[in-house]
Amino acid sequence: ETLACSSQGPPGHTVHKVKFDGELFCLKECAVWDVAVLQQEVRTLLGLAHPHLLPLDGLLLDRAQHRVYLQTAWSRCSMKEWLQSRPTDPQLRMLAGQVLTALAHLHGRGIVHCNVTLGNVLVVDSPASPAVPSPPASPMQSMQRSHAALYPLML
């Protein structure tokens, strides 16, 4: 059951809020033109276990339609919305530390998160544990925009 759909994000990407067996998920739909590049990136992203990286729960590749669907947990709100609740200084410092730790983990593996914004940082569990969907995460060697483009970071 698709509950909501948003075309916010990079061109060619759509975010779906989906309910399955009573649980909410985020399906990020992306256009894919180079399947080999996508497969390499997915292999890299699947090996990025870290407490502040939102895990990729599933992936569906529709080669005929040149689309890929990435499944992750559904977030409560974005950091932009979370900031409207006026978090305390310790909460803000904790969030900053989580963002920096997640980014350092990616950079240490040669991956650049190309679009960290308040709207891309998602609150997953509580105001103390925000998360970032990582639009383009690309190997530093190529510095090209990712086709998977919306892999999320859990903070």
Sign, CA torsion 29/67/11/50: positive
Q: How confident is the model at residue 89 (pLDDT cuts 50, 70, 90)?
A: very high
For residues 11-26, give the mean pLDDT: 75
Q: Is the pLDDT of residue 139 over 70?
A: no
Domain interval for residue 122: 2-154
pLDDT at 98: 85
Q: Which amino acid is at 144?
A: Q
DSSP assignment string, the chain? -EEEEE--SSTTEEEEEEEETTEEEEEEEEE-S-HHHHHHHHHHHHT---TTS----EEEEETTTTEEEEEEEPPSEEHHHHHTT---HHHHHHHHHHHHHHHHHHHHTTEEE----TTT-EE-SSTT-EEEEES-EEETTT-PPPSS--EEEE-
Number of domains forming the structure of the chain: 1
Q: How confident is the model at residue 125 (pLDDT cuts 50, 70, 90)?
A: low
Q: Is the pLDDT of residue 62 over 60?
A: yes
Pairing of strands 13-20, 2-6: antiparallel
Q: Is the pLDDT of residue 103 over 80?
A: yes
Mean pLDDT of the chain: 69
CATH number at residue 74: 1.10.510.10
Q: How confident is the model at residue 66 (pLDDT cuts 50, 70, 90)?
A: confident
Q: Is the pLDDT of residue 10 over 70?
A: no
pTM of the model: 0.63
Convert the pLDDT of each residue in 42-53 to its tens digit: 777 777 778 877
